[in-house]
Amino acid sequence: MLEELKKKVYEANILLPKYNLVTFTWGNVSEIDRESGLFVIKPSGVEYDTMTPDDMVVMNLNGEKVEGKLNPSSDTPTHVELYKAFADIGGVVHTHSSYATSWAQAGRSIPCYGTTHADYFHGEIPCVRCLTKAEIDEAYEANTGVLIATEFERMSKNPVDVPGVLCKNHGVFTWGKDAMEAVHNAVVTEEVAKMAYRCEVINPNVEAAPTELQDKHYYRKHGANAYYGQK
CA–CA separation, 153 and 136 (whole Å): 21
CATH code for the domain defined by 3-219? 3.40.225.10
Q: With left for phi above 0 and alpha for psi between -120 and 50, is residue 123 left, alpha or beta? A: left
How many Å apart are CA 2 and CA 7, to the nearest integer? 9
Q: Which one is catalytic: 19, 33, 55, 119? A: 119
Active site residue 54: no
Q: According to the model, what pLDDT value does residue 119 have?
A: 98
What is the predicted pLDDT for the residue at 157? 97
Domain residue ranges in the chain: 3-219
- Is the pTM higher than 0.85? The answer reads yes
- State yes or no: is 227 an active-site residue: no
What confidence score (pLDDT) does residue 231 get?
75
- Rounded mean pLDDT for each run of 10 residues along the chain, 231 residues in total: 97 98 96 98 96 98 98 98 98 98 98 98 98 98 98 98 98 98 98 98 98 98 93 75
Give me the amino acid identity at 65. K
> How many whole angstroms separate alpha carbon 19 and alpha carbon 183?
9
CB-side neighbour CA atoms (13 Å) of 218: 20
